Amino acid sequence: MPLGFPAEAVESGLGFEPGAGDIFVASYPKSGTTWLQYIVYLLIRRRPIGPDETLTECFPHLEEVGADAASKQPSPRLVKTHLGFALTPFSPAARYLVIARNPFDCAVSFYHHTRGFPRHYDFADGSFADFFDCFIEGEIDFGDYFDHLVSWHAAASRNNVRLLTYEALKSDTRATMRSVAAFIGGDAPASVATEAALDAVIREASLPAMREAQQRWSSLRPDWAPAFVRKGVVGDWRSLFSPGQTRALLAKFDRRLGGSGIEALWPDVLADARAYAEEA
């Protein structure tokens, strides 16, 4: 857990009792969680978050605030979690949207995140090499990327769990949003029933719009640190990964996920990584 998450909140969060209508957004950190949360929020609540509001108040992070705070929301309750499937409070009557991101971009985004919250991590001057060693060992917040992904990928065979990728949300935002709305059900499909309504949600949750008033998404970061909504692209991993680090992460990917079908989530990124790994 990140420093600053009260132990009692984590403990009570694990005991949260989900019920009919509850909607979870589950992810490993830095996978596009905030983006998907905001989309879900817009589909359900049908109004933008104002500059004086925060997403975390409207869509609480279970293990940060605990079960009570999560319970007190209006129905349908919206819950964020970074827990793996085995620890996530589960009910067949709730819905679980899972967003996964390729591990290369996830690691780079997590590195910038970790540097940018010096109060939480004491890593302001940390190097990518040091962070990468922690990432590949799974010695970071919420543990091992691969354990997390494997657990939710298996859970996605249930009809109330839907796994999507950051990359699909980027490359086909319209279709992915429509399928998210259909999965959520209730009033959500009506929120994007017309092209104009869908356009409005896409615009409100777009990268440029979410770059505005970033205090809506996270606590303050120092001026020198990249903002919380940072580059928001696929492929930024190339800016920091060496060919050797690429080889090491590919080897772990193949060892942990080979034959699982998970490779098919990211054919382009993996092909690019395999080509880069051969350089030098």
Contact region with ligand A3P (CB under 6 A), list: 157-165, 201-209, 238-246, 248-256 = 201-209
Number of residues this chain uses to bind ligand A3P (CB under 6 A)? 20
Identify the residue among 65, 97, 140, 205 touching ligand A3P (CB under 6 A): 205
**Closer residue to ligand A3P in complex, CB, 161/210:** 210
Identify the residue among 230, 253, 265, 266 touching ligand A3P (CB under 6 A): 230
Residue 204 as a binder of ligand A3P (CB under 6 A): the answer is no
Residue 236 as a binder of ligand A3P (CB under 6 A): the answer is yes
**Closer residue to ligand A3P in complex, CB, 53/236:** 236
Residue 31 as a binder of ligand A3P (CB under 6 A): the answer is yes
Residue 149 as a binder of ligand A3P (CB under 6 A): the answer is no
**Closer residue to ligand A3P in complex, CB, 175/251:** 175
Minimum CB–partner distance for residue 51 and ligand A3P (Å): 16
Looking at residues 10 to 29 of the shown chain, list those that interact with ligand A3P (rule: CB under 6 A): 27, 29
In this structure, the number of other CB atoms found within 10 A of the CB of residue 122 comes to 11
Residues at the interface with ligand A3P (CB under 6 A): 27, 29-35, 105, 109, 112, 205-207, 210, 229-232, 236
